[in-house]
Amino acid sequence: MQFSITSLFAALALAATTSAAAIESRQNDNRPVADGACCVADSSLKEDVCTVNGAAGKCVPAGSANCGAALTCVQVDLLTCDANTLENGRPRCRPTA
């Protein structure tokens, strides 16, 4: 049985995407993983993982993306986190000023 290199790479990419989504969902205790500037209203909690502009992020109160009552998904590298203060079992993070 022969497989082309293209089909092998496609299968590996699909497996990586699927497993990453499953891991993120488990990290959010099976709540939806937000993808975009706003976290899921009435579902996402502070410090839930999310994805914004293709990068890993966290749901935090920021008000910078006009999300209304929903939390804002902010890239991890734009956050300052305090490991000594926990929110929902994770270090408390807020956008870097």
Cβ distance 1 to 17 under 8 Å?
A: no
The larger pLDDT score, comparing residue 3 to residue 80, is at 80
pLDDT tens for each residue of 47-93: 999 999 999 999 999 888 889 989 999 999 999 999 999 999 999 99
List CB contacts of 89: < 8 A, sequence separation 6 or more. 47
Residue pair 72/65 in contact by the 8 Å Cβ criterion? yes
Structural domain range at position 12? 5-95
User: Which is more confident, 19 or 50?
Assistant: 50
**What's the CA gap between 78 and 76, in Å, rounded?**
5
**Residue 88, SS3 per DSSP:** coil
Q: Does the predicted model carry a pTM greater than 0.75?
A: no
Q: How many domains does the chain have?
A: 1
Q: Name the strands in the sheet holding 55-60, side by side, starting at the edge strand that comes first in the sequence.
A: 34-35, 49-52, 55-60, 72-75
pLDDT at 79: 96
Q: Mean pLDDT over all residues of the chain?
A: 83
